[in-house]
Amino acid sequence: MKVKCPECKKDVIIVKNYTHILCESCKLDWEFKEFIMVLMRSDKTAMDVLADYEKKLQETSESYVSWG
């Protein structure tokens, strides 16, 4: 899975067990929570930095089990 740095748009490193997100080129180290809050603040940033992830979700959830 690829996720980009909101600052420099280079790929970030996701620290094992999802506790931290590192950008080597900006020398940034986010706590996971902090990183997601940055994404939540602006849809546009989120669009830019989130990667090729949805396809998998699409595949597993095609079952239309309705909510209620």
Partner 1 sequence: MGLNMTLEKCDVAIVGGGILGTTISYWLSALYDLKICVIEKERDVAMHTSSRNTGLVHSPLHIDPKKNNVIARCAYVGRDWWHALAKKRSLPWKEIGKLEVALDEKQHKTLEKFQKWGVENGMSENELEIMDSKQVSQMEPNVKCHSAIFSKRDVSTDYGILTKQVMMESQKNGTKFLFDHNVVNVEENSEVKLTFTDNSILTSKLLINCAAGHSLDIAKKLGLANEYAHLFFRGEYWVNGNQYDSVKTNIYSVPTNSQFPFLNPHLIKRANGETHVGPNAALVSGPEVYQGSTSDLSSTISEILEIFHGSPRKLFFNRAFLSMVKKEWLSSISKTAMINRVKKFVPSIRSKSFSKRGVAGIRANIITPEGTFLPEVMELKGNHSFHIINYNSPGATGAAAYSALVVKKLQDAGFLDYTQKPKNTIWNFEEIIN
22 touches 28 (CB < 8 A): yes
What is the spatial distance between Cα 36 and Cα 52, in angstroms, rounded to a whole number?
17
Binding mask 44-63 for partner 1 (x = CB under 8 A): --xx--xx-xx-xxx-xxxx
Angle among Cα 41, 16, 28 to the nearest 5 degrees reads 50
Of positions 5, 8, 18, 30, contacts partner 1 by CB under 8 A = 18
Residues in contact with partner 1 by the rule CB under 8 A? 1, 3, 17-18, 32-33, 36-37, 39-41, 43, 46-47, 50-51, 53-54, 56-58, 60-68
